[in-house]
Structure formats: C-alpha cells, structure tokens
Structure 1
Amino acid sequence: MDHIDTQILQQLQQNAKISMKELATTVHLSSPAVIERIRKLEEQGVIEGYHAKVNLKKMERTIEAIILFKSIDCKSLSSFCNAHPDVLACYRVAGEISYIVKLATYSVETLEQFIDAAMPYGTPSTNIVLSSTEKQVITPFADNDLE
C-alpha cells in the first residue's frame, strides 16, 4: 500500500458513500484508477465491507454497558452472546476475565434480564457506559513505523 491507497482508505472510512469522481479528485487520480485501486484493496482483504453507522439512541438503545465475564462455559457464553440481539460485540480475552461483552439495550430492566440470562455461563461484572469515543479512521502503519 502506498500513500494514495492510505488516502483512499481514509476517505472511504469517513464517508463510504463518497462518489468515485469526488474520491478521484481528492486523491488526484482518474475515476477508473481509483476504482481499480479499491477493487485491489477489496481483493486483498484490506477493505472487508461497507457499513451504515447507526445512532443507538435513535434506535431506543439508550443503555450501553461493558460486561466482564469470568466464564465457566466459554463456548456456551459465546453462543449466547452471538444470538442475543442487544450484544454489539463479544471478545474472548486472556487473563482473569475470559470475555468482554459490549451491549446496547432499551432500559436498565432489559440490562438486568440480559445479566440474569447470562449468569449460567459465568460471573458478570457490569460497567455502564457514561460516554464514549470511537476512532472513525484507522490509518495503516507506514513501513518505517514498524521498525
């Protein structure tokens, strides 16, 4: 990847709906050249997909929580979380805690229902999210960054 690919990735992460003409102008290439570069980035697996970012509050998911689990049944907890509609992400981690679950739900009552339903799989420790920031653009490492 060169600096133009990096610029393309940054622009697509900021706005996946950007027109090819506008993107080409931004990176100072022709539209066909940009389309070809994007196709190669997709084939290489650098670009995995294009997604809509949704506003959780407008979807009535006003309670966000991070739940740490000391799991007694990792596979069952993972299956439970993957099937649960409130779970946004589930991470298996090394250390004293075996899973970290990020969820967004409707109310404190539905959070309590999730915790109660997850209890057979391990011991939860619940942390309510008060505020958060999320990096919107991931920049690739330059070759000299890795030395």
Structure 2
Amino acid sequence: MNSELDKVDWALLEALQADARLSYNELSRRVHVSPPTVAQRVRRLEQIGVIAGYHARVDPTIAGRPVIALVRMKCYGARCITVHPELLDDCPEVLEVVRLTGDICSVVKVAASSIRALERLLERLATYGETSSAMVLSTPVDWRPVTEPTD
C-alpha cells in the first residue's frame, strides 16, 4: 500500500496530522496543488483507509481522568478481551487495547478518575484473566505523526 502514496499524499498527511482542521484551501497552499486536487486526494486517502478518522486529542488528566495506567492481560478463550472487545464497551476508562504476541495477550491503557476507580476497573478486568498493572508517571513521547518510510 505504501507504493500508492506519493510525495503530495505524504505532504497532505503531514499537514493533516499537525492540524486536521485545515481547509482544503489552506492544504492547497501548503502542498502546492489545487483545492480540487487536495479534496480528491484526501477523499482517496480516506477511502483506502490511510486516514482512519479525525479526532480531537483530549488530555485525560485535565479532563478529569488523572490516573493513567497500563494493564497487562493474560486471558484466553471465550472471555478474552482481544477476541471479544465488546466486553469492555461499558468501560469508559479503557482508552485502548493492544493485542500482543508473547506471554501476555494484551495491554490495556486506562484513564481513571481516581485510584478507587482504577481499583474497581482492575477488579473488573481480573474477571477476564490475569492482570498486572503499572501506573503511568509521565509520557515523555506522547504522540508522533506517521511519516513516510525511508527504506
């Protein structure tokens, strides 16, 4: 799929990752192609799944969920959260679940409103398998944009 992306596509992706609210006119100015071309390119990037969505980045600590933790899970079978992620649909504290290889099946990133709320969530997650958690002290690298591969 990478071969489908050219320099203009990557320039658009760079600009949109920095600010997804840019207008087609502003994108046109930045990447030096016409607004209709920008619109067509952005639609194509959306259609092929390179652009998976547009979201506001919310800081959970400022938004009332200051207790951030990573929970390592070992779960198998019918109650595995990677096989049945809908088991967590009613857990707003769960921000992300990453399926892994190795001796654990997943890592769950959570943002809780308090230590007590984290404790309740850990008790709930323990019903799906073995848990081991670590609280996040800080995030030196919070997010990075996806850039064009150099290889």
For normalisation by structure 2, the TM-score amounts to: 0.86
- What does 1:51-66 correspond to in 2, within 5 Å? 51-66=55-70
**Letter matched to residue 74 of structure 2:** K
1:101 maps to 2:108: yes
**Letter matched to residue 122 of structure 1:** G
Number of the residue aligned with 1:141: 149
Q: Which moved more, 1:40-49 or 1:4-13?
A: 40-49
**Letter matched to residue 141 of structure 1:** P
1:104 deviates by: 0.4
Distance in 1 between residues matched to 2:95 and 2:78, nearest whole Å = 18
Number of the residue aligned with 2:15: 11
After superposition, the CA RMSD in angstroms is 1.7
What CA deviation, in whole Å up to 9, does each residue of 1:71-98 have, x standing for no partner?
2456353443343110001122221111
Instruction: Report percent identity of matched pairs.
Output: 34
Q: Is the 8 A contact 1:14 1:136 kept in 2?
A: no
1:135 deviates by: 2.8
> Which of residues 123, 130, 140 is equivalent to 1:123?
130
1:90 maps to 2:94: no
1:100 deviates by: 0.9
Number of aligned residue pairs: 143
Distance in 2 between residues matched to 1:103 and 1:73, nearest whole Å = 23
Distance in 2 between residues matched to 1:123 and 1:2, nearest whole Å = 45
Stretches of structure 2 that go unaligned for 5 or more consecutive residues are none
Report the secondary structure of 2:107's partner residue: strand
Stretches of structure 1 that go unaligned for 5 or more consecutive residues are none
1:20 deviates by: 1.3
Q: Is the 8 A contact 2:80 2:129 kept in 1?
A: no
